[in-house]
Chain A
Amino acid sequence: MKAAAFEYVRPADLAGAVKALAGMPGEAKPLGGGQSLGPMLNLRLARPKLLVDVSRLESMRAIEDRGSLWRIGGAVTHSAIEDASLPGGEPLSSVARGIAYRTIRNRGTIGGSLAHADPAADWPLALPALGAEVVIAGPGGERRVTAATFMHGAFATALAEDELVVAVEVPKLSAGARWGYWKFCRKTGEFPEASAAVLLDAQRKVARLWVGALNGAPQPMEALAADLAQRGGLAASEDAVSRALERVAPDLDPAQRRLHITAVRRAVQQATE
């Protein structure tokens, strides 16, 4: 279980990283903390010819207060987010705290997690619910996509082969905003079997409810979210959640359905109690 041979570079700046990726399209991969890519290399499931290590690029390691939003560099580790004080961005720290184990959080990065796009991962669920934008760099310069549209499916994203996630920008919450985030893991540190995120920010007229750990990308439950904004937690009745779930994830077996209903209702409960 050793990786096939590959080349490794650690460019000095973002431009160098982009250039290195563009130099071998399809055969180069950016390396963040390596917490997913590492095992995939060793299992020889991923066989890039070149690894472009972006984990030490200063420009991607910054957490910046941009007034109405927090900009988190793509190479910022989960534990750095966990440890940061982020007024208006508190959910980022609490979500980070729940990712895997601290040793993984010490290396794993937010950009890497998004780019890897595991359906059960935390950031692909939390960031759309928070209304974040993903900043992408490539040979054509920088572009942005919403976190809600970034992930296309299991391990599939809006990234082209020569692009990488530079940062995410997360709008700050209003003082009265309520956040709910609940996931079910079979054991500490595992990927969840069901997860849900709720943001109710009346001041900004935002109500979002997302459900994760499905077969593909996390999914929004827009109607139910709107109803929550109107009626509060009562809107998330067993039946209402079940119907909303049926629309976004019709293929669940009865046990999975039960678990996802529970995830949604418990996330809602957190945000409305």
Chain B
Amino acid sequence: MSEEHGKPGQGIGARVPRKEDSRHLHSLGQYVSDTVIAGQREVAFLRSPIAHGRIRGIRKPPGSEGRVFVREDLVEAKDIVATSSLPSYKLSGQPPLAHGKVRFVGEPVVMCVGRTRAEAEDLAEQVQLDIEELPALVDSEKAIAEKNVRVHEDWEDNLFLTLTADNRFDELSKKATVVVSRQVELSRQAMVPMEGKAVVAYWDERTDQLVMYYSTQTPHVVRTGIAQFLGIDEGQVRIISPDVGGGFGYKVIVHPEELAVAWLALKYRKAFRWIEDRREHLISGANARQHRYDMTAYADDKGRLLALDARIVIDGGAYSNWPFTIGLEPGQATGNLPGPYDFQGYRCVTQCVATNKPGFMPYRGVARTGVCFAMEQMMDAIARAVDRDPYEVRMDNLVRPEQMPYDNVVKKHYDSGNYPESLRRAREKLDADKWIARQKQGEPDGRKIGIGYASYCEQSAHGTSVFATWGLPLVPGYDQSAVKLTPDGGLEVRVGIHSHGQGMETTLAQVANEILGIEVQKIKVTHGDTGTTPYSTGTYASRSIVMAGGATINACRELIPRVVKIGAHLLGCKESEAKFEKGRGVVGPDGKLMDLKEICTVWYLRPDRAPLDVDRRGLEVSVSYKPQRDTGAFSYASHAVAVAVDTETGQVEILDYVIVEDCGTLVNPMVVEGQTIGGVAQGIGTAMYEEIQYDENGQPNASTFADYLLPGPTEVPHLRIFHMETPSPYTEFGIKGMGEGGAIAPPAVIFNAVNDALRMYGVEVSKTPLTPHRLLEAIERAKQITQPKREAA
């Protein structure tokens, strides 16, 4: 990175190498697919080949009893129903296997079991589906207007829900002298974690439990879901989530296949395994990002935004998911569109529409990638309308540091930060003037230079009050951490969150080190097993370091007086005279040290040497934590890029990419940078590569990586990341979450830069991904329009 940022030692702020890297780099990670239970059978699903239809019959192959299952066979399994307290929300039960109707291509219809996956697939091929095709609802606007066809028959229309916001819109929009309208759109994507969904389920007779090795971000929540949908006690379910190869939101959901496989294990008391393959993932996991925005900004003649009017349409697919519900996406879109800007007039209508596609799920950045894309293009559009530099217009509109904490137009409480400074630094680090000069001069190879900016703020670690407003059936509260000193002076930290790329095994050890000074190597962080960890709703919403970190910090603090008590006794001094010294132990008034290891040994192995009035709660403690305010710690960043656009190929090369980010107090700058790089790579995917299109029958056009492009190492440029550190006033050590941020700004910043490069052609692109074909189309179209003008002149 361009700025070596990092404190000495192993505590908060240190650039500690990740503990988990060794096993991953040596290919020794243990994933669900690495789990082998004796006698396990493989599962394959026969999926719907059509987008919308009525199931008239399913014929199982002769002699396939006990190996081929339809919905009616899964008697004990309930449909997955996610309730929501949001007004206008309609229920959509999702059966573990399609029942009555199929609602998207790829919906699981029949479950087949074999000794090998190939055998299970052979079986699936022999099943005959008789499905009467119904008109497919593919386009969300058409689905809204549709009078007769319904994704869910018992609904009066095809809307999952409609959310509205209005704050002083009429009053403030009237004052505007400049009115600018834009439409922007994001295509449908799959999340594409390296490891797809994966589950091994078996019945453990010894513990009388359904044990599931389950690739999930939220083991405790999934346990609740599985128990609920199978109608068994939670105590009868144990979820083990070992190494997880990326989640991104895809794995915070109880998916129908997982429930179906759980049912198999419950019913047959044997081991069953299903590993989602890439084709299944791309077809049935195309569930993210598809938003459309119609916006009108009302500004003064300097480009100061007074009011914003927006209509957002989210293509919600066929089903609401459990437990996050389909309400999360429109809720976040409506609430986050105003972004890091200071304006007071806002009107927004967000419709979430049911279509014949896989059900929408929360993907890294949840809605904010879309709203940032929309808002940041709007900022550029305003700048054009008032003929000012988009940078200047942004600077005039960003919330200023002296306004912090700031309650924005939808009452989001921005806790701290200096938003304009991040943008100023981004411009400076990019050396914008250099690029502007090059742009004027022209490139020897004829490519067009453009620069772009995008700023965003990212609500992280938001808790009870926020999730309650989104209507979820399950709302996060306090997070827990259980810490225990070991007899040899090491530390165990057990948490209910999960780590699947975030480096939590390292950063949680760092926060514990910050309090106790125990070497990171001697701190064992355990997560991912409902049988051994305290409850947490899990890892999502950029929350884990704030929540589990905060709990761990508090738990470690509680150990100190207990340690001091024993230490003082061993030193022969009063407790009040003894002091805990990080990384050493307890020091007496004469400077004599009783080291931590000795103290631990005494408690566990030599209690005969312990004081009689020793703290009987011992050297282990479980603590619950949530920040002083649960409205979220807001991280933020400004991205700035320079691009070169080849107008003869439509190719966009990112020449420089600068990020100035502020996630409060940095726990590990290297981990923050790693998270940022990964996020930006995904954002570049959204911006330039990833897309699943559907034809008018609802057939997806991408089912392999030949059709669904992802950015690879050569498509992700060197990212120059710079840090700012404005602590949150509400969290332990001022830490903020930041796991999603990288994925938010790239589409916005890249499109703005490309549009800057193509200004002379009058070209403005506004639909992701920016394929060369789309760009050339826009350029060729602009040429058609400008040609006659030139002739006339």
- In the complex, how many angstroms separate the beta carbon of B187 from the nearest chain A beta carbon? 15
Residue contact B709 to A1, C-beta cutoff 8 Å? no
- A43 touches B (CB below 8 Å): yes
Residue contact B689 to A1, C-beta cutoff 8 Å? no
Residue contact A187 to B714, C-beta cutoff 8 Å? yes
Residue contact B780 to A3, C-beta cutoff 8 Å? no
Residues of A with C-beta under 8 A to B125: 4, 44
- In the complex, how many angstroms separate the beta carbon of B85 from the nearest chain A beta carbon? 40
- A175 touches B (CB below 8 Å): no
> Which of A15-23, A133-141, A201-209, A251-259 participates in binding chain B?
A251-259
- In the complex, how many angstroms separate the beta carbon of A258 from the nearest chain B beta carbon? 5
Residues of A with C-beta under 8 A to B651: 184
Residue contact A2 to B650, C-beta cutoff 8 Å? no
- Nearest residue, chain B, Cβ from A266: B648
A262 to B38 Cα, complex, angstroms? 59
Which chain B residues (666-724) contact chain A, with CB distance < 8 Å?
689, 704, 706, 709, 711-712, 714-715
| From A39, A189, A258, contact of B776 by CB (8 A) | A258
Residue contact B711 to A187, C-beta cutoff 8 Å? yes
Residues of B with C-beta under 8 A to A191: 706
- A149 touches B (CB below 8 Å): no
Residue contact B277 to A1, C-beta cutoff 8 Å? yes
- In the complex, how many angstroms separate the beta carbon of A221 from the nearest chain B beta carbon? 18
A44 to B44 Cα, complex, angstroms? 14
| From B118, B706, B715, B777, contact of A2 by CB (8 A) | B118
A3 to B117 Cα, complex, angstroms? 10
- In the complex, how many angstroms separate the beta carbon of B776 from the nearest chain A beta carbon? 4
Residues of A with C-beta under 8 A to B650: 255, 258-259
- B519 touches A (CB below 8 Å): no
Residue contact B280 to A187, C-beta cutoff 8 Å? no
Residue contact A189 to B712, C-beta cutoff 8 Å? yes
Residue contact A255 to B776, C-beta cutoff 8 Å? yes
| From B648, B773, B781, contact of A262 by CB (8 A) | B648
A187 to B770 Cα, complex, angstroms? 13
- Nearest residue, chain A, Cβ from B651: A184
- B269 touches A (CB below 8 Å): no
A186 to B684 Cα, complex, angstroms? 13
- A85 touches B (CB below 8 Å): no
- B267 touches A (CB below 8 Å): no
- B171 touches A (CB below 8 Å): no
A189 to B709 Cα, complex, angstroms? 11
A186 to B649 Cα, complex, angstroms? 10
- A227 touches B (CB below 8 Å): no
Task: Indicate the size class of the contact surface on chain B.
Answer: 20 to 34
| From B122, B648, B771, B780, contact of A186 by CB (8 A) | B771
- In the complex, how many angstroms separate the beta carbon of B662 from the nearest chain A beta carbon? 32
Residues of B with C-beta under 8 A to A193: 772-773
| From A3, A43, A253, A259, contact of B279 by CB (8 A) | A43
Residues of A with C-beta under 8 A to B118: 2-5
Which chain A residues (166-222) contact chain B, with CB distance < 8 Å?
184, 186-191, 193
Residue contact B780 to A254, C-beta cutoff 8 Å? yes
- In the complex, how many angstroms separate the beta carbon of B516 from the nearest chain A beta carbon? 46
Residue from B648, B712, B779 having most chain A Cβ neighbours under 10 A: B648
Which chain B residues (754-792) contact chain A, with CB distance < 8 Å?
771-774, 776-777, 779-781
- Nearest residue, chain A, Cβ from B715: A187
Main secondary structure of the interface of B (DSSP, over half): helix
A43 to B278 Cα, complex, angstroms? 11
- In the complex, how many angstroms separate the beta carbon of A191 from the nearest chain B beta carbon? 8
Residues of B with C-beta under 8 A to A5: 118, 122
Main secondary structure of the interface of A (DSSP, over half): loop
Residues of B with C-beta under 8 A to A186: 689, 709, 771-772
| From A1, A2, A44, A190, contact of B278 by CB (8 A) | A1
Residues of A with C-beta under 8 A to B774: 255
- B630 touches A (CB below 8 Å): no
- In the complex, how many angstroms separate the beta carbon of A50 from the nearest chain B beta carbon? 17
Residues of B with C-beta under 8 A to A43: 279, 704
- B141 touches A (CB below 8 Å): no
Residue contact A187 to B709, C-beta cutoff 8 Å? yes
Q: Mark A239-262, 1 if CB is under 8 A from B, else 0.
A: 000000000000001111011011
Residue contact A254 to B777, C-beta cutoff 8 Å? yes
Residue contact B780 to A187, C-beta cutoff 8 Å? no
Residue contact B715 to A259, C-beta cutoff 8 Å? no
Which chain B residues (261-313) contact chain A, with CB distance < 8 Å?
277-280
A256 to B712 Cα, complex, angstroms? 24
A113 to B125 Cα, complex, angstroms? 30
A254 to B778 Cα, complex, angstroms? 10
- Nearest residue, chain A, Cβ from B773: A255
A118 to B279 Cα, complex, angstroms? 21
Which chain B residues (83-133) contact chain A, with CB distance < 8 Å?
116-118, 121-122, 125
Residue from A186, A187, A189, A253 having most chain B Cβ neighbours under 10 A: A186
Q: Mark B644-667, 1 if CB is under 8 A from A, else 0.
A: 000011110000000000000000
Residues of B with C-beta under 8 A to A44: 121, 125
Residue contact A259 to B704, C-beta cutoff 8 Å? no
Q: Mark A44-87, 1 if CB is under 8 A from B, else 0.
A: 10000000000000000000000000000000000000000000
- Nearest residue, chain B, Cβ from A253: B777
| From B648, B709, B715, B771, contact of A258 by CB (8 A) | B648
Residue contact A2 to B773, C-beta cutoff 8 Å? no
Residue contact B704 to A39, C-beta cutoff 8 Å? yes
A186 to B714 Cα, complex, angstroms? 11
- In the complex, how many angstroms separate the beta carbon of A259 from the nearest chain B beta carbon? 6
- In the complex, how many angstroms separate the beta carbon of B685 from the nearest chain A beta carbon? 10
Which chain A residues (31-45) contact chain B, with CB distance < 8 Å?
39, 43-44
- In the complex, how many angstroms separate the beta carbon of A184 from the nearest chain B beta carbon? 5
Residue contact B689 to A259, C-beta cutoff 8 Å? no
- In the complex, how many angstroms separate the beta carbon of A4 from the nearest chain B beta carbon? 7
| From A2, A39, A187, A253, contact of B689 by CB (8 A) | A187
- In the complex, how many angstroms separate the beta carbon of A143 from the nearest chain B beta carbon? 32
A187 to B685 Cα, complex, angstroms? 11
Closest 9 pairs (CB-CB, A-B): A255-B776, A2-B118, A188-B714, A262-B648, A1-B277, A254-B780, A255-B777, A255-B773, A1-B279
27 contacts between A and B (CB under 8 A): A1-B121, A1-B279, A1-B280, A2-B116, A4-B125, A5-B118, A5-B122, A39-B706, A43-B704, A186-B689, A186-B771, A187-B689, A187-B712, A188-B714, A190-B709, A191-B706, A254-B776, A254-B777, A255-B772, A255-B776, A258-B648, A258-B650, A258-B776, A259-B648, A259-B650, A259-B773, A261-B648
Known: A1-B277, A188-B714. 20 other contacts (CB 8 A): A1-B280, A2-B116, A2-B121, A3-B118, A43-B279, A44-B121, A184-B772, A186-B689, A186-B709, A186-B772, A187-B711, A190-B709, A253-B777, A255-B772, A255-B776, A258-B648, A258-B650, A259-B650, A259-B776, A261-B648
